[in-house]
Amino acid sequence: MNRPSFFTYLFGNRFSCFAILAFTALLAVLWWTGGQQAVPWQVVLVAMFCSSGALNANGRIVAFENWKREWEAAETGGKGVDARASKLRHLRDVCAVLVWIALAWIVGVSPPSEVKNYVVFVFVVINLAISYRLIRWLRPKRSKPIVSELDHVVSVCVPIPAESQHAPTVSALPQYCVSLLNPIQH
């Protein structure tokens, strides 16, 4: 699988995709509440096309990251957890909770104003996203097939003869390939 292009990463990463979707939602709400005077419908339509492109780019990035993660897990035999990714995930979760607390405080304490309406809108969107993630997390999980260490991606493999000129290059391959391609020892 090919790595997504720079522009795919630019518009499809999580932050850009979320920003584009939030801006599109904001334009749609302004158009809906203010009519043609606030935001023309053509602008909302263009924003929806941009959101669609951002979601498609995000889908390509997620598919590539999943493929890369599976490929790297196959190289290590499924062992080894990426500690850096785990730390970044925890940092992201802590930052998300802090943003949610700050928005809840602003919504609860600040006096009514024009800015507070936008903060309430963002707070509602975040709560909807949290609810969606919570529902997905609580949904019953599908069981994954059990894979043993002896299972390989290749089910039938003819070993390389020991007298082949390509036999020395086998050692440069990952271990799971070497175990498949080594000549039969009698």
Q: Both 93 and 130 in a single domain?
A: yes
Residue that is written with structure tokens 């801006």 in the block:
23
Q: Both 85 and 71 in a single domain?
A: no
Range of the domain at 123: 81-141
Identify the domain boundary among 41, 59, 80: 80
Q: Both 25 and 88 in a single domain?
A: no
How high is the pLDDT of residue 60? 92
- Report pLDDT digits (tens) over 78-93: 555 565 666 777 777 7
- Report pLDDT digits (tens) over 125-183: 887 877 777 777 777 766 666 655 555 555 555 566 666 666 666 666 777 677 666 65
Q: What is the band of 185 on the pLDDT scale with cuts at 50, 70, 90?
A: very low
Alpha helix stretches (DSSP H) within the chain: 6-12, 14-34, 41-75, 83-109, 114-138, 175-181
Q: Both 101 and 137 in a single domain?
A: yes
pLDDT, mean over the chain: 75
Q: Both 4 and 72 in a single domain?
A: yes
Give the rounded distance of the alpha carbon of 73 from its chain centre. Answer: 17
Q: Both 63 and 1 in a single domain?
A: yes
Q: Both 75 and 103 in a single domain?
A: no
Q: Both 73 and 90 in a single domain?
A: no
Q: Both 126 and 170 in a single domain?
A: no
Q: Is the pLDDT of residue 75 over 80?
A: no
Q: Both 8 and 62 in a single domain?
A: yes
Closest of 73, 95, 82 to residue 153, by C-alpha: 73
Angle between helix 114-138 and 83-109 (nearest 10): 140
Contact 11, 54 (CB under 8 A): yes
Q: What is the band of 107 on the pLDDT scale with cuts at 50, 70, 90?
A: confident
**Per-residue b or e along 99-122, where b marks 16 or more CB atoms closer than 10 Å to that residue's CB:** eeeebeeeeeeeeeeeeeeeeeeb
How high is the pLDDT of residue 81? 53
Question: For the residues 33-62, what does the mean pLDDT come to?
Answer: 86
How high is the pLDDT of residue 150? 58
Q: Both 123 and 157 in a single domain?
A: no
Closest of 96, 99, 116, 98 to residue 108, by C-alpha: 116
Q: Both 102 and 69 in a single domain?
A: no
Q: Which helix (H) or strand (E) holds 65?
A: helix 41-75
Question: For the residues 111-115, what does the mean pLDDT come to?
Answer: 77
Residue scoring higher pLDDT (185 or 56): 56
How high is the pLDDT of residue 186? 39
Number of folded domains in the chain?
A: 3
